[in-house]
Amino acid sequence: MSTDSGGNRALLESTLAAAKDEGRAALVGYLPAGFPTVDGGISACTALLEGGCDVVEVGLPHSDPVLDGPVIQTADDVALRGGVRIADVLRTVREAHAATGKPVLVMTYWNPVDRYGAERFAAGLAAAGGAGCILPDLPVEESEGWRKAAEEHGLATVFVVAPSSRDERLAKITEAGSGFVYAASVMGVTGTRESVGGRAQDLVARTRSVGELPVCVGLGVSTAEQAAEVAGFADGVIVGSAFVKLLLSAGEDLEGGLAGVRALAGELAEGVRRTG
Amino acid sequence: MSDYFIPDPEGRTPTAEGYFGAFGGRFVPEALVAAVDEVATEYEKAKQDPSFAAELDELLVDYTGRPSPLTEVRRFAAHAGGARVFLKREDLNHTGSHKINNVLGQALLARRMGKTRIIAETGAGQHGVATATACALFGLSCTIYMGAVDTERQALNVARMRMLGAEVVGVETGSRTLKDAINEAFRDWVANVDHTHYLFGTVAGPHPFPQLVRDFHRVIGVEARRQVLQRIGRLPDAVAACVGGGSNAMGIFHAFLADEQVRLLGFEAAGHGVESGEHAATLTEGGPGILHGSRSYVLQDDEGQITEPYSISAGLDYPGIGPEHAHLRQTGRAEYRPVTDDEAMQALRLLSETEGIIPAIETAHALAGALELGRELGPEGVVLVSLSGRGDKDMETAARYFGLYDGADDADPEGDE
Specify the DSSP element, H or E, that contains A57. strand A55-59
Could you tell me if B295 and B28 are in contact, meaning their C-beta atoms sit under 8 angstroms apart? Answer: no
Across the interface, of A116, A139, A189, the residue whose CB is closest to B30 is: A139
Contacts of B186 in chain A (CB under 8 A): 66
Q: Decide if A86 is inside a domain.
A: yes
Q: What is the pLDDT of residues A25-62, one digit of tens each?
A: 999 999 999 999 999 999 999 999 999 999 999 999 99
Active site residue B99: yes
To the query of whether residue B2 is one of the catalytic residues in this protein, the response is no
Domain boundaries, given as residue ranges, for chain B: 33-64+99-209, 70-96+217-402
Assigned domain for A53 exists: yes
Q: Cβ of A114 and B305 within 8 Å?
A: no
pLDDT of residue B415: 44
Cα A269 to chain centroid, rounded: 16
Is-catalytic flag, A68? yes
Beta bridge partners of B337: B267
* pLDDT tens, position by position, A91-146: 999 999 999 999 999 999 999 999 999 999 999 999 999 999 999 999 999 999 99
Q: Which chain A residues are within 8 Å of B36, Cβ to Cβ? A: none
> Cβ distance B53 to B35 under 8 Å?
no
pTM: 0.95
Q: Residue B34 is nearest to which of A112, A113, A166, comparing CB atoms?
A: A166
The answer to the question of residue A4 being in a domain is no
- The answer to whether residue A19 sits within a structural domain is yes
Residue numbers of the domain that contains A91: 9-187+198-269
- For residue range A225-265, list pLDDT tens digits in order: 999 999 999 999 999 999 999 999 999 999 999 999 999 99
CATH architecture, range B70-96+217-402: 3-Layer(aba) Sandwich (3.40)
Q: Do B303 and A166 touch (CB under 8 A)?
A: no
B291, A111 Cβ separation under 8 angstroms: yes
Q: What is the ipTM of this complex?
A: 0.93
Please state, as a whole number, how many other Cβ atoms lie within 10 Å of the Cβ of residue B203: 31
Residue among A111, A159, A188 minimizing CB distance to B290: A111
pLDDT for the residue numbered B416: 43
Chain A with chain B: Cβ pairs closer than 8 A: 103
**Residue B370: which residues within 8 A CB-CB, separation 6 or more?**
B80, B85, B240, B347, B383, B385
- On whether residue A2 sits in a domain, the answer given is no
**Contact assignment for B306 to A69 by CB distance below 8 Å:** no
Q: What is the CATH number of the domain that holds A113?
A: 3.20.20.70
CB contact under 8 A, B304 and A111: yes
Rounded distance, CA A21 to CA A237, Å? 16
Average pLDDT, chain A: 95
Contact A64 B304 (CB under 8 A): no
Mutate: best of B36, B183, B184, B187, partner A, most A CBs <10 A: B187
pLDDT at residue B11 in the model: 53
Confidence tier at A2 by pLDDT (50, 70, 90): very low
Label residue A5 by pLDDT band (50, 70, 90).
Answer: low
pLDDT over 70, % of chain A: 98
Q: Which residue of B has its CA nearest to A117?
A: B303
Band the pLDDT of A79: cuts 50, 70, 90. very high
How far off is chain B from A173, nearest CA to CA, in Å? 10
Q: Note whether residue A103 is domain-resident.
A: yes
Shortest distance between the Cα of B389 and any Cα of chain A, in A, equals 29
- What does each of the 417 residues of chain B score in pLDDT, given as a tens digit? 578 898 887 556 799 999 999 999 999 999 999 999 999 999 999 999 999 999 999 999 999 999 999 999 999 999 999 999 999 999 999 999 999 999 999 999 999 999 999 999 999 999 999 999 999 999 999 999 999 999 998 999 999 999 999 999 999 988 899 999 999 999 999 999 999 999 999 999 999 999 999 999 999 999 999 999 999 999 999 999 999 999 999 999 999 999 999 999 999 999 999 999 999 999 999 999 999 999 999 999 999 999 999 999 999 999 999 999 999 999 999 999 999 999 999 999 999 999 999 999 999 999 999 999 999 999 999 999 999 999 999 999 999 999 998 865 555 444 443
CB A117 within 8 A of CB A69: no
CATH 3.30.930.10, domain B33-64+99-209, yes or no:
no
Q: What are phi and psi of A181, to 5 degrees?
A: -105, 135
Q: How many domains does chain A have?
A: 1
Residue A1 in any domain: the answer is no
Position A193 in a domain = no
User: What residues contact residue A202 under an 8 Å CB cut-off, 6+ apart?
Assistant: A163
Q: Do B33-64+99-209 and B70-96+217-402 agree at the fold level?
A: yes
Q: What is the pLDDT of residue A186?
A: 85
Query: Per the CB < 8 Å rule, is B31 touching A162?
Result: yes
Cα separation, B152 vs B132, whole angstroms: 18
